[in-house]
Amino acid sequence: MHLGSTLTVSFRALRRNPMRSLLTALGIIIGVGAVIAMVSIGNGAKSMVEAQIASLGENVLLVFSGSFNQGGARSGAFGAGTLTVDDAEAIRREVSTVVAVSPEVRTGAQVLANGLNWSTQILGEGPDYLAIRAWPLSEGAMFTDGDVRSVGKVCIIGQTIATQLFPDGSPVGQTLRIRSQPFKVVGVLSAKGLSVQGADQDDLVIVPYSSAMKRVTKQTMLRSISVQATSAATLDLAQNDIISLLRQRHRTTEQTDDFTVRSQVEIAQAATATSNTMTLLLGAIAGVSLIVGGIGIMNIMLVSVTERTREIGIRLAVGAHGREIQLQFLTESIVLSAFGGTLGILVGIATSELLSALNNWPTLVSTTAVVIAFFFSAAVGMVFGYYPARKASLLDPIDALRYE
Amino acid sequence: MPPVVQLEDIHKIYDSGEVPVHAVRGVTLQLHRGEFMAVMGASGSGKSTLMNTLGCLDRPTRGRYRLDGVDVSGLDRNELADLRNAKLGFVFQGFNLLARTTARENVELPMLYGQRRYSSAEMHARAMRSLDIVGLSDRADHFPSQLSGGQQQRVAIARALVNEPQVLLADEPTGNLDSKTSVEVMGVFQQLNAQGITIVMVTHELDIARYCRRNLIMRDGRVVSDIPVPDRLVAEAEMTRLREAESAAKLTD
């Protein structure tokens, strides 16, 4: 019996009982659908992270206090502050591959303007900060070195602050009170939207770090130092030079470093690695449901073989070879699972689109995942259909014809 | 012309249980082309076993079976299947049609297997020809559930004929039919036999056996009688008689 008629016979057999065929394929449909949806969501998150990398500024290194490798106490990132403004100046002075430096302190505070108040984050930065972060202003100008030296009461506000506290007209030139102290708004940042973690990146106020440290918070140590290298090529060199310099200044060794220097790429890679692991895990769980779907197919095929014993007897009587019977049932099983796989792929794509629309999660349907899912479901049909098909082929025609 | 069926001292012994069952004990017979033979006997007489042997569904333990000159004892399972496909046609008591499959597709079934390959157009044409012979070409697209018992059996006969077999084997073909439909179906068999088709039919009803030409009676695995049928009935005549009896009954009501 050649392939054409085998497929015809199998399709006819499945068409004879459409409800059962659909229910049998349901396990595969759900399994494949789940795999596709989860992988799409995972991929979407990953691509968002990658987009975030691109938006964070090139050739940027982040120096922050605390180390993940500290021998005794692990203080973690941003732990007991050990970075000083002098460290930042030293980096700018002595590392030739560094082109810009911005020391950072951070705190939360209430800000007031025009009789409205708002709880927000206050960042104390250097004037190079916006250049390092590649974050343009929509209005006004960044504060200067002079402002830093004079501990000036000037600030840059994010779009959310502008919208919330300065509904009429331009905020530039107006006054913003930070912890009851008046600061003059000299610039407004352009919009950045939500971060990957869902935080509002436009909800912040930037003041000179000296002003932040003297007037807003009582911190004497820096939270971090943002550094921009001269180019992507010199990034590694800059990273090493900064580490050596700080080790010298802090008198630490690799084992006792109280700081960490990371490139933005490394930070983003860490986030991607996590999301990759999550995606794989979710995919594996969904893969298990595919196996279960396969077992479902095997069960139904076994029932089907028993129910169609008479039919198998007739086919054998009119001249079917055992092999042909086996091929027929195996084909039915594969067609069923491949059909389920196709439906599952469509369901998975639809689900991920739906979730994407409802929750604002990004999704990215991966062609690789689709192809793998399809062939995997066909394979499931082949593996789990083998035993029932073999059983069918070994039936004796006389007994089969007599079967009640 | 050599006989189409030659059985020489056929024995069949079933050895599966505690006691071996000697179902057929030395049957020798010949069937020529165009014969119409009934095989009768009580249950346990061995007639089913004999039919299974004739149908190449089972191999005899001893003895030789030649079908259309071919000795079946040397053939393996697949070769036997091919032989059945080419030379035999089966009709069963329970019709054994595929449900939710049209009459035409049912008749096409034997053409899906065997050595010869047909295009779908050829299969369609041959199936329609076969249905024509049994007078059901207008119902080719009906499902068995839409056909009466007699019509279903006629579709089964068409299926048995589609590969132009040497012998038609029928196992209690009228067992599930009422008396009037039984006569109709026997009429079809007689018509086919008149066109030269060889038929072997198992039945336990003497009335049905009277439509055949030769009557073989078995008991305890042996042939105890093998005679031409006396007082043969002709289906058409019987149909007319029944119809007249029916209308006569209506007139008196």
Q: What is the per-residue DSSP string for A149-192?
A: HTT--EEEE-HHHHHHH--SS--TT-EEEETTEEEEEEEEEPP-
* Contact yes or no for A311 and B98 at CB 8 A: yes
DSSP string, B173-220: TTTTS-HHHHHHHHHHHHHHHHTT-EEEEE-S-HHHHTTSSEEEEEET
Q: Cα separation of A95 and A267, whole Å?
A: 22
Instruction: Please provide residue B36's backbone torsions phi and psi, each rounded to the nearest 5 degrees.
Output: -135, 95
pLDDT at A45 over 80: no
* Percent of the residues in chain B that have a pLDDT greater than 90, as a whole number: 79
Do B84 and A315 lie within an 8 Å CB cutoff?
Answer: no
Closest alpha carbon to A41 in A316, A363, A389, A289: A363
Residue tagged 């010869």 (tokens):
B116
Beta-strand ranges (E) seen in A22-59 are: none
A187 and A234 Cβ atoms separated by less than 8 Å: no
Q: Determine the Cα–Cα distance for residues B132 and B118; give it in Å rounded to an integer.
A: 19
Subunit contact A319:B78, Cβ cutoff 8 A: no
What DSSP assignment string belongs to A267-278?
HHHHHHHHHHHH
Report chain A residues whose CB lies below 8 A from the CB of B24: none
- What are the tens digits of pLDDT across the range A369-394? 889 889 988 998 899 999 999 999 99
Q: Are the Cβ atoms of A398 and B57 closer than 8 angstroms?
A: yes
Residue A295 pLDDT: 87
Q: Is B250 on the interface with A (CB under 8 A)?
A: no
* B112·A321 Cβ contact <8 A: no
Q: What are phi and psi of B232, to 5 degrees?
A: -65, 140
Nearest beta carbon to residue A320 from set B98, B100, B113: B113
Residue type present at position A174: Q
B112 pLDDT above the threshold of 70: yes
Chain B nearest C-alpha distance from A18 (Å): 11
What residues in B contact A315, CB-CB < 8 Å? 109, 113
Report CB contact under 8 Å: B110, A319: yes
**Who wins on pLDDT, A380 or B159?**
B159
Minimal Cα distance from B77: which residue of A? A321
Q: Which residue of B has its CA nearest to A316?
A: B81
Judge whether residue B174 has pLDDT over 50. Answer: yes
Query: Which residues of A fall below an 8 Å CB-CB distance to B?
Result: 1-2, 5, 9, 12, 16-17, 310-311, 313-324, 397-398, 401
CA distance B198 to B208: 17
Per-residue pLDDT tens digits for B11-60: 999 887 788 999 999 999 999 999 999 999 998 899 999 999 999 998 99
When the pLDDT of each residue in chain A is averaged and rounded to a whole number, the result is 85
Mean pLDDT of B122-135: 94
Residue B39 CA, distance from chain mean position: 11
With contacts defined as CB-CB under 8 Å, which chain B residues touch A16?
99-101
CB atoms under 10 Å from CB of A318, counted, come to 25
Any CB–CB contact under 8 A between B58 and chain A? Answer: yes
Give which of B50, B53, B54, B57 to mutate to test A binding, by max A Cβ within 10 Å.
Answer: B57
In B, minimum Cα distance to A15 occurs at B100
Q: Decide: A37 and A355 in contact? Cβ < 8 Å.
A: yes
Half-sphere exposure of residue A220: CA atoms within 13 angstroms, side-chain side: 0
Q: Who's near B84: CB < 8 A, 6+ residues apart?
A: A317, A318, A319, B55, B56, B57
Q: How close does chain A come to B81, measured CA to CA in Å? A: 4
The pLDDT, as a whole number, for residue A290 is 80
**B interface mutation test: which of A10, A315, A318 has the most B CBs within 10 A?**
A318
- Look at residues A130, A147, A150, A148 and name the one whose alpha carbon lies nearest to residue A139: A130
Which residues, other chains included, contact B111 with Cβ-Cβ below 8 Å and sequence gap of 6+? B118, B123, B126, B127, B162, B163
Of all residues in chain B, the percent with pLDDT exceeding 70 is 99
Q: Which contiguous run of DSSP H or E holds residue B49?
A: helix B47-54
CA A225 remoteness from chain centre: 26
Which residues of A are less than 8 Å from B94 in CB distance? Answer: 310
Q: Which of A5, A313, A318 sits opposite B110 (nearest CB)?
A: A318
CA pair distance A175, A115, nearest whole angstrom: 11
Q: Residue for token digits 């091929």?
A: A327
Chain B residue with CA closest to A394: the answer is B77
- Interface contact flag, B100 A321, Cβ < 8 Å: no
The type of residue at A377 is S
B113 at A interface, C-beta within 8 A: yes
pLDDT per position as a tens digit, A168-225: 888 999 999 998 899 999 999 998 887 766 788 899 999 999 999 988 888 888 888 9
Q: Give dist(CA B103, CA B145) in Å, integer.
A: 10
pLDDT over 50 (residue A74): no
CA distance A149 to A147: 5
Mutation choice for A interface testing from B49, B58, B109, B112 by most A CBs within 10 A:
B112
Closest partner residue to A9 among B78, B99, B112, by Cβ?
B112
Contact residues, chain B, for A311 at CB < 8 Å: 98
What residues in B contact A313, CB-CB < 8 Å? 96
Distance from the A303 Cα atom to the nearest Cα atom in chain B, whole angstroms: 17
Distance of CA B137 to the CA centre of its chain: 21
Question: Contact B109/A310, CB-based, under 8 Å?
Answer: no
Q: Is the pLDDT of residue B251 over 70?
A: no
Vertex A260: Cα angle to A259 and A265 (nearest 5): 160
CA distance linking residue A367 with residue A196, whole number of Å: 24
Poorest-pLDDT segment among A136-145, A231-240, B167-176, B192-201:
A231-240
- A224 Cβ contact list (under 8 Å, min separation 6): A62, A63, A64, A65, A78, A83, A104
Q: Write the CB contacts of A365 (distance below 8 Å, at least 6 apart in sequence).
A: A36, A40, A43, A349, A352
**Which residue's structure tokens are 């440290």?**
A213
Residues B5-96+165-252, CATH architecture: 3-Layer(aba) Sandwich (3.40)
Q: B21 — contact with chain A (CB < 8 Å)? A: no
* DSSP-assigned beta bridge partners for residue B105: none
In the three-class reduction of DSSP (H, G, I as helix; E, B as strand; rest coil), residue A103 is classed as strand
Instruction: Flag whether residue B79 sits within 8 Å of chain A, measured between CB atoms.
Output: no
Nearest residue of B to residue A404 by CA position?
A: B94
DSSP track, B77-131: HHHHHHHHHHHEEEE-TT--PPTTS-HHHHHHGGGGSSS----HHHHHHHHHHHH
**Per-residue buried b or exposed e for B46-76, using 16+ beta carbons within 10 Å of the residue's own CB:** bbbbbbbbbbbbbebbebebbbbeeebeebe
Mean of the pLDDT values across residues A279-283? 79
Q: How far is CA A315 from CA B23, B95, B96, B97, B121, in A?
A: 26, 13, 10, 10, 21
Of B78, B101, B110, the CB nearest to A321: B78
What whole-number distance in Å separates Cα of residue A283 and Cα of residue A366? 13
Which residues sit opposite A187 in a β-bridge? A140, A156
Provide the phi-psi class of B140: left if phi over 0, else alpha when psi is between -120 and 50, else beta. Answer: alpha
Is the predicted pLDDT of residue B188 greater than 60, yes or no?
A: yes
Distance CA A86, CA A83 (A): 8
Mean pLDDT is lowest, of A80-89, A220-229, B147-156, for: A80-89
Minimal C-alpha gap between B49 and chain A (Å): 10
d(CA A388, CA B154): 33
**DSSP category for residue A222:** B
Is residue A319 within 8 Å of B85, Cβ to Cβ?
yes
Question: Is some CB atom of chain A closer than 8 A to the CB atom of B137?
Answer: no
Query: Strands A181-189 and A175-178: what pairing?
Result: antiparallel
